[in-house]
Structure 1
Amino acid sequence: MKKIILLLLSLVFLLGMESSAYASVPKRLTGNNQYETAVAIAQDGWEQSDYAVLANGETYPDALCAAPLAQKYNAPILLTTFNDLPSVTKKELAALKVQYVFIVGGTGVISEAIESELQTMGVKTIRLSGHDQYDTAVQIARELPSPHEIFVVTGEDYPDALSVAPIASIAQAPILFVPSDYLPESIKKFISENTINKTYIIGDKDLINDNVVGQFPGGERIIGSDKYVRNVNINNKFKQLISAKCIYVARGEGFADALAGGPLAAKLKGPILLVDPNSDELPSSIVAYLHRLRADRVQPQLTSLGGTAAVPDILMQKISNFLKEQSSGSISKSDLISGVIQRIDANSTVVNISLSTPSTYIGATQYQVCIKNCAVSSVVPIGTDTTVNQQVSSGSTVQVKFTNAKGDQIGSITNVLLKATTTTLQTDVVSCTLKSTDDNSSVITINLRNPSVYRGATRCQVYVNGLESFIMPIGFPMTISQELNSGDIVLVTFYNDKTAIVGPVNVPFKLVKNK
């Protein structure tokens, strides 16, 4: 009997060990409608709260800026219709023992009748509203601590505001709405009243034009080709603020579930990922995001916001399975990136960047070379040559930015060590001898034996540090107007009798001092 008990205990222990290696089983917070879903979200995050934020569950403009306010007061966001407080919302307010409710929006958004009903329940109400959604956002912002940074999103759609909500909440930074082509006076006044050093503008100039962006201090755009790419780019940008130990998944084709989920995500310092409920496939941007988490061995608790029509089971299962693959050890490959110098010319360098067994950079099809965070090449397909607009020597490190076919960045910019390609066969023996040197010039000779790649070569030319020699017969001394030392790298090009290039040009070789 004791052996059986020990065996059972051992099995329980092993099963516990095995389950801990995997991401937690996804859970779903949902109800029969958006009001019940908001209550389910509140019940998951709060047992009691003195404060709650009440927003209209049928129209988004006023409500989307409320998440930082909810975070300030550790409050859930609950939803109502315009003129009828849902019974499920009313019961949750009572269950949480809420004493104060922030009503977001004017009487044209949430009626006076609802405000009166709340007061009848013994709840004190504070209405935050303006003459339009832009002004309402400013009124909400005034309830927050004086900000040094703000988030700016289009007032004509909701996904970008949903994406930044947890991050802005954690940072206690206001979310402001703007039209695409002008800056409302209420926002201008708010900017003048505060010492704002940084403004994060979500979207490119098609959403918010440059004239509007130019009126914000310290403006920085966070862009993407669509709302799903922007959603991931936002989460990547602020990955230091969010732990990703909890990830909330919501539909990108509706606002109510993610609106209510924003304060819960912020409370647990987790991001919200947006998915397309009309597709069985995850957006490529999310796949890349999950690759990063997997590479960092993050095993988050996954929570979907809304029913299966909002976040289909198949999408949650794909996310879960993807993250399980890392912990089970079935995928352990990492990105293998190599950088090769193909040729060094007078004012440029031809390089080739290849990528194999992608993990972080899955979905990448193109690359661009950067030096000191400035692009120095065009965007070309991975594995093909590109010209860097300056000389880069073997052993140098450059930055490489990977993108997909749409031009969206995949993963973070990475450092890549460049190496000179092996352009000569073993039969080619090239020697570079430093004959003499002084303060103003150096004399060197180039010799070639057993030519294969350089078969037919009779002449050569040396290039170093922006200076080039005359084309001279192989083995003849040639002068460079620069002091050189043994071990320096020179670039050699070989020619035939007709001065036609033989083999690769500007191949790097090391100088050896004449004995």
Structure 2
Amino acid sequence: MRKKYIAVMVSILTSLNMILYSKVYAVEQKVVIMDTLSQQSNVTRITGTDCYDIGIKVSQKGWTTSDNVILAGSADFPDALSGTALGIKLNAPILFTDPNGIASNTLNEIVRLKAKKVYILGGTGAVSQAVEDSIKGQGLSVERLWGQDRFGTALAVGKKVQGLTGAKTAFIANAYNYPDALSSSTFAGQTGSPILLTDAGTLNEQSKQALRDWGITNVYVLGGTGVVSANIENELKDMGISLTRLGGLDRYETSQKIVKNFDSSLDKFTIVTGKDFHNALVASVYAEKIDHPLVLEDNDCSQTVKGLVKDKDLLIVGDFIVDSTTPTEPIVDEPGHSGNHIRQQILTGNLGFVDYDSNGSGLILNPYGANGDDKFTELGFTVGSGNRDMSLSIFRSSPEVDQKIKTILNMILPTQGDKLYSILDTAGLKTQTVELDGRIITIRVESYGLIVDFGPVK
């Protein structure tokens, strides 16, 4: 960060003029596993330029035609999570859309499939009325499955699934994180079981009532007690429901415990990153279709976790990268969200940023370009190393700048960008440290502006 930036009032920075939504620029997800896998002949890879394109590529790989399509908003995961079971029961591909408007290539894919009906997951905040109208304009039937919140939407989707199958088994996952629900998705679909959401400490009342209404007698609790507490186990037992907890020390161990519980063969898998939800969601239905259950893998998994997929029949959704300089080791790069990846997304994302330093690590937003006077610089972004993966510096505030701040935060934090934005928008903001989406984030309130340092993804 350059030292000559003009000082601005912190009070201005902490009243960021909240907006309802800003576009989430999907980033390319990079699944990184051992180099030995790159030599396997039984590896199929599906990738694309972003989450929309990857969803289309998966759809094209798996379906010549489909009467039904599941459409989810790309901005956040909760509405889409429960849609995996519905997609599997309907044999329907899952596609993403920008909440504010559906891209022509996504609409073209729906037309190519000769779809008759599109199920939209979530309310108009997740997928706008404009998107629905565009689909109806193609002569297609639309059914929107939604509730007043993430629990209500999961309930609406689960009700549809349970109505199709009459299942007496349900899966319950934490409503505020995605890995465990994703890992269970192929098995929830196989058994026709709804996926319901809960808070960590107590069973959500809407989900509890659904269990009663549907006559559920068996529940799979996903994750350890840190994400779904022992208290929830007791609540389920008091309802006369038998339960099985599937949880490990982290998302990767939980993923493998889920797979091992339902699939004894362990000879074929779908590999996706555990640090973003987009690839896993669009892969889930196709993974079940070809009987390749989802497994979460990333660069920092344990060797034991990585060992499960060695020499197996693999479908990899997202990029597969190895380090050619040290071929026995995975490349040291966080999938999709490292400082270098985010820098590239910012630079190419039509946000108006330019390079300002010779080593290429820093970007600035200045209306007069790289040579503009420092006092006009509005935002700065730098790539770091070690415990500081990247930093966002905020020096000025306006509605236009605030929208760009929110966009960048959603690039860096795939599920909790909006939450960090709301923290930054708090009156009287003080220097503090928080943990969101597996990153340690330090917010520094300085005399010259607001600095947000992001640690690497754990």
Which residue of 233, 257, 266 maps to 2:257? Answer: 233
The aligned runs of 1:404-415 (5 Å cut-off) are none
Is 1:221 matched with 2:245? yes
1:23, distance to aligned residue in structure 2 (A): 5.5
1:314, distance to aligned residue in structure 2 (A): 5.6
Which residue identity is paired with 2:221? I
Structure 2 counterpart of 1:287: 306
Structure 1 counterpart of 2:94: 77
Provide the C-alpha distance between the structure 2 equivalents of 1:275 and 1:236, rounded to a whole number of angstroms.
15
1:163-191 per-position Cα deviation (integer Å, ceiling 9, x unaligned)? 00111111111111111122222212211
Which residue identity is paired with 1:312? I
Provide the C-alpha distance between the structure 2 equivalents of 1:182 and 1:306, rounded to a whole number of angstroms.
35
Q: Secondary structure at the match of 2:202?
A: coil
Which residue identity is paired with 1:249? I
Q: Where is the helix percentage greater, Structure 1 or Structure 2?
A: 2
Gaps of 5+ in 1: 1-21, 321-515
1:27, distance to aligned residue in structure 2 (A): 2.3
1:389-438 per-position Cα deviation (integer Å, ceiling 9, x unaligned)? xxxxxxxxxxxxxxxxxxxxxxxxxxxxxxxxxxxxxxxxxxxxxxxxxx
Structure 1 counterpart of 2:278: 256
**Native 8 Å contact 1:163 1:234 kept in 2:** yes
1:464-513 per-position Cα deviation (integer Å, ceiling 9, x unaligned)? xxxxxxxxxxxxxxxxxxxxxxxxxxxxxxxxxxxxxxxxxxxxxxxxxx
Give the aligned CA root-mean-square deviation in angstroms. Answer: 2.2
Is 1:64 matched with 2:81? yes
**Native 8 Å contact 1:138 1:187 kept in 2:** yes
Q: Secondary structure at the match of 2:306?
A: helix
Provide the C-alpha distance between the structure 1 equivalents of 2:169 and 2:48, rounded to a whole number of angstroms.
36
**Native 8 Å contact 1:159 1:255 kept in 2:** yes
**Native 8 Å contact 1:150 1:198 kept in 2:** yes
Structure 2 counterpart of 1:306: 318
**Native 8 Å contact 1:153 1:178 kept in 2:** yes
Provide the C-alpha distance between the structure 1 equivalents of 2:131 and 2:267, rounded to a whole number of angstroms.
38
Provide the C-alpha distance between the structure 2 equivalents of 1:50 and 1:254, rounded to a whole number of angstroms.
28
**Native 8 Å contact 1:244 1:271 kept in 2:** no
Is 1:127 matched with 2:144? yes
The aligned runs of 1:1-80 (5 Å cut-off) are 24-80=41-97
**Native 8 Å contact 1:58 1:256 kept in 2:** no
**Native 8 Å contact 2:269 2:309 kept in 1:** no
Provide the C-alpha distance between the structure 2 equivalents of 1:313 and 1:103, rounded to a whole number of angstroms.
37
Q: Secondary structure at the match of 1:143?
A: helix
Provide the C-alpha distance between the structure 1 equivalents of 2:125 and 2:329, rounded to a whole number of angstroms.
40
Number of residue-to-residue matches in the alignment: 283
Give the greater-gyration-radius structure (CA).
1
Structure 1 counterpart of 2:178: 158
Structure 2 counterpart of 1:7: none
The aligned runs of 1:140-219 (5 Å cut-off) are 140-144=157-161, 145-216=165-236, 217-219=241-243
Which residue of 107, 110, 115 maps to 1:90? Answer: 107
1:219, distance to aligned residue in structure 2 (A): 1.8
Which residue identity is paired with 2:193? A
**Native 8 Å contact 1:151 1:200 kept in 2:** yes
Is 1:111 matched with 2:120? no
Provide the C-alpha distance between the structure 2 equivalents of 1:193 and 1:289, rounded to a whole number of angstroms.
39
TM-score by length of 2: 0.59
Provide the C-alpha distance between the structure 1 equivalents of 2:243 and 2:296, rounded to a whole number of angstroms.
25
**Native 8 Å contact 2:322 2:329 kept in 1:** no
The structure whose RCO (Cα within 8 Å, separation 6+) is larger is: 2
**Native 8 Å contact 1:129 1:139 kept in 2:** yes
Q: Secondary structure at the match of 2:109?
A: helix
1:246, distance to aligned residue in structure 2 (A): 4.0
Q: Secondary structure at the match of 1:126?
A: strand
Which residue identity is paired with 1:225? L
Provide the C-alpha distance between the structure 1 equivalents of 2:130 and 2:227, rounded to a whole number of angstroms.
37
| CA spacing shift, 1:96–1:119, aligned 2, 3 Å | same
Provide the C-alpha distance between the structure 2 equivalents of 1:191 and 1:318, rounded to a whole number of angstroms.
48
